[in-house]
Amino acid sequence: MEDRTINMEEQKEITIYDIARHLNISAATVSRGLNNNPMISKATRKKIADTAKSLGYQSNTFASSLRSKQTHTIGVLVPRLNSYFMSSVLAGMEKVANLGGYNLIIAQSLENVEREKTNALTMFNKRVDGLLISLSYDTQDLTHLELFFKKRIPVVFFDRVGSHTESTSVVIDNYSEAYNITRHLIDQGCKKIMHLGGNTHLNVYKDRLAGFKQALADHNLPFVEEFHLISNLSEDAGSNAAKFILDLAPGDRPDSVFSANDTAAVHCMIILKNANVAIPNDIAFAGFNNDPSSKIIEPNLTTVDYPGKTMGEAAATTLINHLKGITNIYITNLLTLKSGLIIRASSLKKPLSF
């Protein structure tokens, strides 16, 4: 087993006196600067703030937490709150946190990395005991989380994850599920499959694209670059994909669509249906996530079951067990949950054989 002994520098609590010594100014000046006192020049305030950040200083929001070193709060950063999947994840996290005696502080990045950075710093300064995070759409690196890694504040990624030796990730096998759903479409006779994908800097969309491509290759079907539409997979993105399809000559259109989420798939289907495109006979459809909308749209949408509540419970349990010394997230870096293909009418060009 790898020896991960924490050195004294990692354990040391950075104070305003450390910042003062570093800048060769008084602790009183540091305190005023951190509180944006107008008596301190803007240039000095910026130096103080930059030094505080580089040293890993945490503002003393709770005096009691300084003594106990614990606040019994966990930070949760999510891309957005207004999705069924994320609501399910948070429900699972809250259940586990409450049972474990922890409170959650929840913030959303609104798919913006700058907002994610601000929220992460806020969580750090509020002295959360650990962080649960699903990355924003345009996050490309983890530099804004180095404060946590340096201080050995445990970080657990879920769904959209980053690779870091000082953390662990909770995921499903996006590659295999994308492969299976593509193979299902091929088994239904589809040969010209369009993929509505997301930003491939993110593991979920990168892995779903890879699974899609591999299924095509294994069945001697070409990957057509023009049929790979990258977007934020919103309602508008789904509608725009439908307009793209309708602008093609009927003979040049795809015979099926695999969307990396249900939202884009459903809204693409709505526009096509209004244009008298028959689903699945003209164009078959499959999505991902098993959102409630997948069971409301007619025909019902083939999709992948994505256990949001289970993922939330697993992520929170992993973090809390680490905080309580039961397990160690620095040893187990990946937890893969069970998921599965749900076949419905939107993809059935021919009867299923059992």
From CA 145, how far away is CA 21, in angstroms rounded?
25
Rg (CA), the chain: 24
Instruction: Answer yes or no: is 222 within a domain.
Output: yes
Angstrom distances, CA of residue 60 to CA of 14, 125, 126, 129, 291: 10, 8, 8, 14, 42
**CATH number for position 273:** 3.40.50.2300
* Closest alpha carbon to 232 in 268, 205, 254, 203: 205
Residue 348 confidence (pLDDT) = 97
- Note whether residue 298 is domain-resident: yes
The burial of 196, by beta-carbon neighbours within 10 Å (0-12 exposed, 13-18 middle, 19 or more buried), is given as buried
What is the extent of the structural domain holding 25? 1-57
Query: Other C-beta atoms within 10 Å of 297: how many?
Result: 22
Residue 313 lies in a domain: no
Domain of 14, CATH number, reads 1.10.260.40
Domain count, the chain: 2
For 18-31, the DSSP string reads HHHHHHTS-HHHHH
Query: Is 9 or 310 the better-scoring residue by pLDDT?
Result: 310
Q: What global pTM score does this model have?
A: 0.80
- Residue 169 is given by DSSP the state E
Non-local (6+) Cβ contacts of 174 within 8 A are: 203, 204, 207, 208, 211
Q: Is residue 122 part of a domain?
A: no
Task: Identify whether 85 is part of a domain.
Answer: no
Across the chain, mean pLDDT equals 91
Helices (H), ranges, the chain: 8-11, 16-23, 27-34, 42-55, 63-68, 84-100, 113-125, 146-150, 174-187, 203-218, 235-246, 262-274, 293-296, 308-323
| Residue 296 confidence (pLDDT) | 96
Q: Which of 10, 37, 57 is the last residue of a domain?
A: 57
| 227 three-state secondary structure | helix
Query: In which band, very low, low, confident or very high, does the pLDDT at 12 lie, cut at 50, 70 and 90?
Result: low
Write the pLDDT tens digit of every residue in 63-120: 444 434 688 999 999 999 988 999 999 999 999 999 999 999 999 999 999 999 999 9
When pLDDT is averaged across residues 159-179 and rounded to a whole number, the result is: 95
Of 15, 34, 57, the one marking the end of a domain is: 57
263: in domain: yes
**Per residue in 261-302, pLDDT tens?**
999 999 999 999 999 999 999 999 999 999 999 999 999 999
Q: What is the pLDDT of residues 201-237, one digit of tens each?
A: 999 999 999 999 999 999 999 999 999 999 999 999 9
User: Is 148 part of any domain?
Assistant: no
Examine residue 317 and state whether it is found in any structural domain, yes or no: no
Distance, in Å, from the CA atom of 265 to the CA atom of 237, rounded to the nearest integer, reads 9
Q: Percentage of residues in the chain with pLDDT exceeding 90?
A: 77
